[in-house]
Each structure stands twice: as structure tokens, then as C-alpha cells.
Amino acid sequence: MPFEDYTPQDFVENEFFCQWVLHPTEDTSAFWEMFLSLHPEKYQDILKAKALILAMKETPAIVPDEVQIEQMWQNVVTRTIAKSEKEDFESDSISRSLWRTYLGWVAASLVIVVGGIWLYNKPILFHSNTITYQHLIEYQPEKLSETRNISSDSLQISLPDGSSVILTKGSRLSYPPSFGNIRNVYLEGEGFFEVKRDTARPFVVYAGQVITKVVGTSFWVKAHDEKSDIEVDVRTGCVAVAVANFVNEPLSEIKPQFLLSANQRASYSQLDKRLERSLVNNPLPVIRPKIVSEIVYMNKPVVELFEELEKTYNVDLVFDAETLKSCRINTSFSNETFFERLDIICRVLNTSYQIVETQIIVKSKECD
């Protein structure tokens, strides 16, 4: 549910809001100031919730229901708030010191009212070990549009900047009606992104705790639920992948952990809280191949064939060129995948390979 639809009780129960009230930072304060500027009609609800949280800080209070919040608020307003002060707040002319004093009066009054209420235990949390899609969209200051694929087929959608996304069955994507300096979108499920290049406005995909930042490229993002791994597979171009520590962590403060290029993958384990880099399961050519039914190699130097594979698939093959310099091969390829081709070459050479992150290490030995 977006913040503009929140009641005071919803704000009280929201961990991000409570974090701002009790432990404000420059970033959280900027967020809520922006939210109020966009939704001035919510100032009284926020004021109620903020005062109640400060009051509950002084007592082991339990979260009251909506009716009790309203009764407490009316009691406080009657005793502590003059009409002129309310007008000052509405006009945003109230000073910070007066604001703190004002909230102090409200909190003190609420402590008296709340002290005897014991309804049900519902602790207020200030951080979460797992960031969900719902967290991401709830904590945005602007209203987002959501597209959900409820069909049995893939669904292609166009974004405001001209980029496109293919959503798989059951997936959903939220994004603003128009993009600002940063093109932020929020994904649950699987989506293939083809991003329109715009060097002045980075494109950022939020999927759980994983953040993927690009300028112009194509890639898959998979983020199904809180238990499954979150994956980013790059098809073309280059992307930066990072992990957020908390919802709405400033992008400028998040250091990318990996830079991925075509046919590389980043996989984040939500159980182990670990981001790893590897090759995709099925590397695809990054160079458009010649349209031929079969490629035949006769007496082809193996070193040249490995170099050709590296360039075609943007993979890093590690081998000893000096050891393999006398090795030649007779073979042909038609519609084999990258790894099928590599397996054929290694069988002919009577050798093997090992995948270490994004490198493929070929055990090199001399040919007779």
C-alpha cells in the first residue's frame, strides 16, 4: 500500500517511518520532507503518528487501534494546540525548535493517555533482514504504476523513456509515470530489460536487496520471493550490481560489488546474504554469427579456435597458449551451444576445463 493511503496507525506500524521518528538521518528526513511536499494532505496523519511513537518510546505501550488514536489526538489537540500554531504548521513556517517543543507537548499528553492501554503485542521493527517488493514500492515518495502479468504468456511493456521489459507469467513491475534524473523500476518475478541508452539518466532495477544499475543494455533479472536466489543475467552491454543494506538506502552510498558484461551472472543468496559472480548457463553469441548451416574447421590451430570462442561469446578462456601451440583440430559446428562446442574441443584434446566465477580454465597439455 502506498504511503499516501496510510492511516496514522499504518504509519505507527511502519518500520521505515519509525526509524525516521526515533533515529532521523539526513536521507530519511529528506524523504519525508519530499513526501509531505507531494502530499500535504497527510501532514496531520504524520503528526499524529509521530507524536504517538514518541509517546510510546517513554512507555512499554502497545499499538492502539484507529479509534483510540483519534480519541487521543483530539484530547491532545484540545489541550495543547492553538489554532494559530496549527496554521503555522500548515504554512511550513514553524521553526524546528518550536516543532520539537510542540511534539514534546503532544508526546507528554499521549504518555498519560496511552499508559493504561494494553491491547495486543505488536513490536515496531526498525530494520529488516530481507527487503521485499512490497517494502520497495511502499517506501517511495511518488505514486507508482504497476503492471502485472496475469496471462500464461510473456508480456511486453513499454516504459516512459522508451525502454521495454518482457515480464514472465506472474511477474510484476512498478515504475513512475515519468522518470526523473534516475530511472528507477521495481521488479518481482522475472523480467528481460532492453534499456534505451541515456548516459545522463542511469536506469536502476530494484529486485529485493539487489540493485542493478545500467545506462543502456539488455539483461534478465529474476527475483521471485524471499527464499529464492536473486539473479541478474547480462545479455548485452555492462551493468553494475550491488546489494542494499536497507530500504531506500541512497544510491550514491551503495558501492557496486560487481561489474558484469555480456554472458555473466550475479546471484544473490537471500539465505546466506552473499553475492556471487559466474557465467550464465547458456552463453549466447555477442557477435552476430554468419548465417551458415555448418562451420567446418580443418587442421585449425586450437589456440585460434579458443580465441575465436572468447570473442564470439565474450568469455574468458584461460589456457596455456605456449603448451597448446602445436595442437590442431578437425571438427564442425552447426547449432551447438557454447558449452557443447567447448566439450567437443576438449574431448578431441583429451582434456577438461573448470569454471571459476566468470573464467573457464582449460587444463592445457601438449599435443603429440
pLDDT in tens, 20-46: 887 777 767 777 777 787 778 888 888
pLDDT of residue 41: 87
Percent of the chain with pLDDT over 90: 36
Angle at which helices 96-114 and 83-90 cross, to 10°: 120
Write down the mean pLDDT value for the chain: 78
CB atoms within 10 A of CB 1: 11
- Which helix (H) or strand (E) is 166 found in, with range? strand 164-167
Using the predicted structure, report yes or no on whether residue 320 has a pLDDT greater than 60: yes
Using the predicted structure, report yes or no on whether residue 361 has a pLDDT greater than 90: yes
- Which helix (H) or strand (E) is 37 found in, with range? helix 26-38
The per-residue pLDDT for range 236-278, each reduced to its tens digit, is: 888 889 888 777 677 777 778 888 888 999 999 988 888 999 9
Q: How sure is the predictor about 168, in pLDDT bands with cuts at 50, 70 and 90?
A: very high
Taking the domains of the chain in order of start, what are their residue ranges?
3-114, 133-279, 295-362
**What is the topology classification, in CATH, of domain 133-279?**
Jelly Rolls (2.60.120)
Phi and psi based region of residue 170 (left: phi greater than 0; alpha: psi -120 to 50; beta: remaining): left
- Give backbone dihedrals phi and psi of 43, rounded to 5 degrees, phi first: -60, -40
- 270 with 254: CB under 8 angstroms? no
Supply the pTM of this predicted model: 0.61
The per-residue pLDDT for range 275-304, each reduced to its tens digit, is: 999 999 999 988 776 665 678 889 999 999
String of DSSP letters for 89-119? HHTT---HHHHHHHHHHHHHHHHHHHTT---
User: CA–CA separation, 330 vs 302, rounded Å?
Assistant: 10
- 146 with 167: CB under 8 angstroms? no
Using the predicted structure, report yes or no on whether residue 116 has a pLDDT greater than 60: no
- 53 with 109: CB under 8 angstroms? no
pLDDT of residue 90: 45
More confident residue, 329 or 108: 329
Using the predicted structure, report yes or no on whether residue 368 has a pLDDT greater than 50: yes
User: CA–CA separation, 324 vs 233, rounded Å?
Assistant: 32
Q: How sure is the predictor about 75, in pLDDT bands with cuts at 50, 70 and 90?
A: low
Using the predicted structure, report yes or no on whether residue 119 has a pLDDT greater than 90: no
Using the predicted structure, report yes or no on whether residue 129 has a pLDDT greater than 80: no
The CATH number of the structural domain formed by 295-362 is 3.55.50.30
Span 180-194, average pLDDT: 93
> 94-98, 123-127, 332-336 — which one is most confidently predicted on average?
332-336
pLDDT of residue 109: 44
Grid cell digits, residue 333: 559446428
pLDDT of residue 92: 45
Span 160-182, average pLDDT: 94
* Domain 133-279 and domain 295-362 have a common topology: no
Angstrom CA distances, 175 to 62, 230, 364, stand at: 36, 19, 50
Span 192-221, average pLDDT: 89
pLDDT of residue 211: 92
Task: Give the 3-state secondary structure of residue 354.
Answer: strand
- 32 with 47: CB under 8 angstroms? no
Task: Give the 3-state secondary structure of residue 264.
Answer: strand
Using the predicted structure, report yes or no on whether residue 341 has a pLDDT greater than 70: yes
Using the predicted structure, report yes or no on whether residue 353 has a pLDDT greater than 70: yes
pLDDT of residue 124: 31
